[in-house]
Amino acid sequence: MPNFIGKRNIFLIISGLLVIGSILSLTIFGLKSGIDFSAGSSLTVKFDIAPALADLNAKMRDLGHPEAVIQETGSGDFIIHLSVVTDAQKNSLETGLETSFGALTEEGFESIDPTIAGDTRKIAAGAIALAAVGILLYLTYAFRRMPKPLHYGTGAVIALIHDVIVVLGIFAILASVFHWEIDLVFVIGILAVLGYTVNNTVVIYDRIRENVLRGVAPTFEATVNRSVVETVVRSMNTSFTTIIAVLALMLFVGATVENLAIVMFIGILVGTYDSLFVAPAILVIWDNFDKRRLAPRVSRAGT
C-alpha cells in the first residue's frame, strides 16, 4: 500500500513553496480590479471587419481614452474597459470607432459608480470570510462524535486558505500577461473552489471517520493513510470529470465566464492535491503533536 502520509513532509514543502510563490506573485504583479470593484464602464463591441488590437488601442488614445484596457475574446468581440462614461460619451466613442473601422454592433454596456463598487468589495470579502467560518463550524459539528472534532474543521479551513492563496497567486501571473481583471464572476469562481475543495476534503475525512470507528489499523497515522489510499482514485476521477466540464466552458462559452473557468480550473487541480495530501496530513501532525505534549503528563500519572 502506498504510504502517502509517511511522505507528508514532502507534500507540505511543496505546498509551502506554492504558497510562498503565490504571495510573491501577488506582491509583484498584484490583481487588477475590474469595474465591479473599482468603478468604471465596460463596453463590448463587435466590428463587421475586426481591426488589429494595436490599431484599436491607438484609436482609443486618439479619442481621449488612454486609460482604456481592451480585451479581445475568442468569439471576435472586443471588451473595452474604461473610466466611468455617460451614455452620450459612449455614443460619441462608438461613432469615432465606426468612422475609423467601419460598422460595429454594441454587444453590451455596463457602468458602475464608486459607491456601488465599494459596497461590492465589502460584500465579496464578507462572503468569502463567512463561507470559511461556516465551513469551520459545520465540519466541527459534523465530526462532533470523533475525538478532537476541531481538528477536522481547522484542517479543512487551512486547506481552503491554501487553495485561495495559490489560485490568487497563479491568477496574478496570468492576469499580468493577459490583462485579466477580477470581478464578481471571479469571486463566484473562488466560492465555487471553496465548495469543491471542502466537498473533496469531507469525502476523505468521512472515510477516516469510518476507518477509525472500525479500528482498521493500529495507529491513527496508518488509519489516515489507508483512508487516503482508498479515496485517491475516486477523488482524481471526480476532479478529472469536473475539469472536462470546465474546459468546455473555457473553449465554447467565451470571455463572459473566462474568469470563472480559469479560477475553477486552477482551484480544482490545487484543491484535489491538498484534499488528498495536505488536509489529512494536518490531522496526523496535530494528533502527533498532542501525543508528544501529553506524554510527560501520562508518564507522571503512571509513576
Task: Name every residue whose Cβ is closer than 8 Å to that of residue 1 and which is 6 or more positions away in sequence.
Answer: 225, 226, 229
pLDDT tens by residue, 165-190 = 998 899 888 888 877 777 778 888 88
Phi, psi of 109 (to 5 degrees): -150, 135
Domain ranges of the chain: 5-34+116-293, 40-112
User: Which residue carries 473595452 as its cell?
Assistant: 80
* 3-state percent helix, strand, coil for the chain, nearest multiple of 5: 75, 10, 15
pLDDT digits (tens, 9 = 90+) for 18-71: 999 999 999 998 887 776 677 778 888 888 888 888 888 888 888 888 878 787
Position 16 confidence tier, pLDDT thresholds 50, 70, 90 = very high
CA distances from 256 to 83, 191, 207, 264 (A): 20, 17, 38, 14
DSSP alpha helix (H) spans, the chain = 8-28, 35-38, 53-62, 87-101, 114-142, 149-178, 184-214, 220-252, 258-277, 279-302
Rg (CA), the chain: 25
d(C-alpha 150, C-alpha 173), whole Å: 35
- Lateral strand order in the sheet of 40-47: 69-72, 78-82, 40-47, 104-112
Q: Do residues 107 and 31 make contact, with C-beta atoms less than 8 angstroms apart?
A: no
Query: Which of 39, 52, 64 is CA-nearest to residue 181?
Result: 39
Predicted confidence at residue 299, as pLDDT, reads: 61
Which residues pair with residue 43 across a beta bridge? 80, 109
Strands 40-47 and 69-72, how do they pair? unpaired
* Spatial CB neighbours of 231, under 8 Å, sequence gap ≥ 6: 203, 204, 207, 276
pLDDT digits (tens, 9 = 90+) for 262-277: 888 898 999 899 888 8
User: What separation in angstroms does the CA of 168 have from each of 25, 157, 176, 264?
Assistant: 9, 16, 12, 11
Report whether pLDDT(120) > 80: no
**pLDDT for residue 294 is more than 80:** no
pTM (2 d.p.): 0.75
Q: Which fold has domain 5-34+116-293?
A: Multidrug efflux transporter AcrB transmembrane fold (1.20.1640)
Residue pLDDT, tens place only, 196-223: 888 888 889 889 989 988 888 888 899 9
Residue 255 has a pLDDT of: 63
State what percent of residues in the chain have pLDDT above 70: 93
Rounded (5°) CA angle 190-183-87:
160
Confidence of residue 248 (pLDDT cuts 50, 70, 90): confident
Distance CA 112, CA 154 (A): 38
Q: Does domain 40-112 have CATH number 3.30.70.3400?
A: yes
Centre a 10 Å sphere on the Cβ of residue 212 and count the other Cβ atoms it contains.
16
Q: Return the pLDDT at 20.
A: 94
Helix (H/G/I), strand (E/B), else coil: 82 = strand
